[in-house]
Structure 1
Amino acid sequence: PPADREGYWGPPTSTLEWCEENYAVSSYIAEFWNTVSNLIFILPPIYGAIQTYKDGLEKRYLAAYLCLTAVGLGSWCFHMTLKYEMQLLDELPMIYSCCVFVYCLYECFKYKNTVNYPLLFFLITYSFVVSIVYLNLKEPVFHQVMYGTLVSIIVLRSVYIVLWVYPWLRGLGYTSLTVFLMGFFLWNVDNIFCDKLRALREKMPPVMGAVTQFHAWWHILTGLGSYLHILLSLYTRTLFLKHRPKVK
């Protein structure tokens, strides 16, 4: 496999490095494709946040969109620099955003102007404990398990809603889940077969080789899946409040 190059940000200090060759495209961006693919986390959620604000929807959905944008910005900084501090800026917002998603999803069937303080306290405590433990442990597997736990809770609640409450939302719900799982599958392929993928890229033109950057595809697919999930949650909420939602 080709050796990683040296670049503007110096040697990596992160506890994780991905399969993309370092500084192969630009001397200013450590992992070019893994960086620019984060635009899917940044631009659509900004649009969603603007629409949510204009439509006067509940602030928790504005927070959901902005949290997704924060994940994209943090991930951009991480993959651009491969510095440990930027890694935290990527990984910790993943936990915080999922906590916001959980709150939104479990509060879909409550009347307006109510706050579920026990759930809010639990999610804040969860975020705080995970952050403290991870900062001291510095073990990526711990973060992945804590993140996976939140995703599982979101999936189970979403499946319940589309199966038993609003079955006509199955298309949106299953599309969101399928797209996210496709991203997770490619994330694993990228990790398991990295050496073979790097060797394959040596034999391919750069543009075609970019297609094999499966961690970048993980960003694109999970970003899209997460955006669709917020739409599902928002759609469910507006249906409960007997509004006439329009997916834009």
Structure 2
Amino acid sequence: MWSHLERGSSPVDWCESNYSISPLIAEFVNTVSNILFFLFPPVLIHLFQEYSKFFNPAINVLWVLLMIVGLSSAYFHATLSLVGQLLDELAILWVFMAAFAMFLPKRYFPKFLGGNRVKCARVYRLGLRCVAICFLAMFCWIIDRVFCDAWLSISFPYMHGIWHVLIFIASYTALVLFAYFNVSEERPEQKPQLKYWPRNDFELGIPYITIKHPCKKDYNIAI
């Protein structure tokens, strides 16, 4: 059991050279590239105060779980231990399960999959951006694994670190979209609105959801 906590006990080793930057951190860039998982969730918790108060406070669980994903991933890449690998994978599964439990709609699918959700143009653009970033993130993950020697030959074995940045952006964007759809499905009278921070007219900012017509919070909603 204790051997699984040892550095390098994981069978997975990414393209980045081990201990090349710091004698204490196995994959330095892959470790510090998880920084967004710590910086953004507190901001999102603040931005989603209205959503949490008037619709579902469980949204904050998802932001906290994203922080746990970042912490687990950083620990794994810093140590390359088997325990770190398992914590990283389990944390990701917990985000998926919590999001599924929270956002599963009564009618199951958005309009383009046969449901009845309505997308405004702004939400549609955010959805396209989310999908594009997700595919780009997966592309970075794949080429890091498949073409590691090529990246090493040009001294840039950091595509997995870029994956961390892109997949966080894609993940929180997807959660924002599902939060919007969830209100639209369950409480359309509250008229959810997609906004951006720091300026609402800057669509490359941080997206969040506000409630146009708040009503009494339903304490029966929970994950």
> So what's the TM-score if we normalise by structure 1?
0.67
Partner of residue 131, structure 2: 177
Structure 1 residue ranges without an equivalent (≥5): 1-8, 111-155, 202-208
Aligned-partner SS, 1:59: coil
Partner of residue 30, structure 1: 26
| Residue 238 of structure 1, CA deviation | 3.2
| Residue 51 of structure 1, CA deviation | 3.1
Q: Distance in 1 between matches of 2:13 and 2:179?
A: 35
The answer to whether residue 169 in structure 2 is matched with residue 221 in structure 1 is: no
Task: Encode CA deviations 1:147-184: one digit per residue, 9 max, x unaligned.
Answer: xxxxxxxxx95674798522322211121111011000
| Matched residue type, 1:102 | F
Q: Distance in 1 between matches of 2:50 and 2:116?
A: 31
Q: Distance in 2 between matches of 1:159 and 1:215?
A: 34
Partner of residue 148, structure 2: 194
Partner of residue 205, structure 2: none
Q: Quick one: structure 1 residues 79 and 198, their matched pair in 2 at CA, closer, same or farther if it must change by over 3 Å?
A: same
Partner of residue 231, structure 1: 176
Q: Quick one: structure 1 residues 36 and 159, their matched pair in 2 at CA, closer, same or farther if it must change by over 3 Å?
A: farther
Q: Between Structure 1 and Structure 2, which shows a larger proportion of helix residues?
A: 1
Partner of residue 133, structure 1: none
Q: Distance in 2 between matches of 1:101 and 1:181?
A: 20
| Matched residue type, 2:119 | P
Q: Quick one: structure 1 residues 83 and 157, their matched pair in 2 at CA, closer, same or farther if it must change by over 3 Å?
A: farther
Q: Distance in 2 between matches of 1:162 and 1:197?
A: 42
| Residue 59 of structure 1, CA deviation | 2.5
Q: Distance in 1 between matches of 2:25 and 2:119?
A: 45
Aligned-partner SS, 1:189: helix
Contact 1:161/1:167 (8 A) holds in 2 = no
> So what's the TM-score if we normalise by structure 2?
0.74
| Matched residue type, 2:19 | Y
Contact 2:109/2:116 (8 A) holds in 1 = no
Q: Between Structure 1 and Structure 2, which shows a larger proportion of strand residues?
A: 2
Identify the match of residue 243 of structure 1 among 181, 188, 191: 191
Alignment of 1:200-215 (within 5 A): 200-201=154-155, 209=156, 212-215=157-160
Alignment of 1:35-184 (within 5 A): 35-53=31-49, 55=51, 56=53, 57-107=55-105, 157=109, 160=112, 164-168=116-120, 169-184=123-138
Contact 1:238/1:245 (8 A) holds in 2 = no
Q: How many residues align?
A: 185
Q: Quick one: structure 1 residues 85 and 10, their matched pair in 2 at CA, closer, same or farther if it must change by over 3 Å?
A: closer
In angstroms, what is the RMSD of aligned CA positions? Answer: 2.6
Aligned-partner SS, 1:87: helix
Task: Encode CA deviations 1:177-211: one digit per residue, 9 max, x unaligned.
Answer: 1101100011000000111211221xxxxxxx3xx
Task: Encode CA deviations 1:17-66: one digit per residue, 9 max, x unaligned.
Answer: 10000011111211111011111222212221233346514132111111
Q: Distance in 1 between matches of 2:160 and 2:15?
A: 8
| Residue 237 of structure 1, CA deviation | 2.6
| Matched residue type, 1:231 | V
Percent of residue pairs bearing the same amino acid type: 27
| Matched residue type, 1:225 | A
Contact 2:110/2:116 (8 A) holds in 1 = no
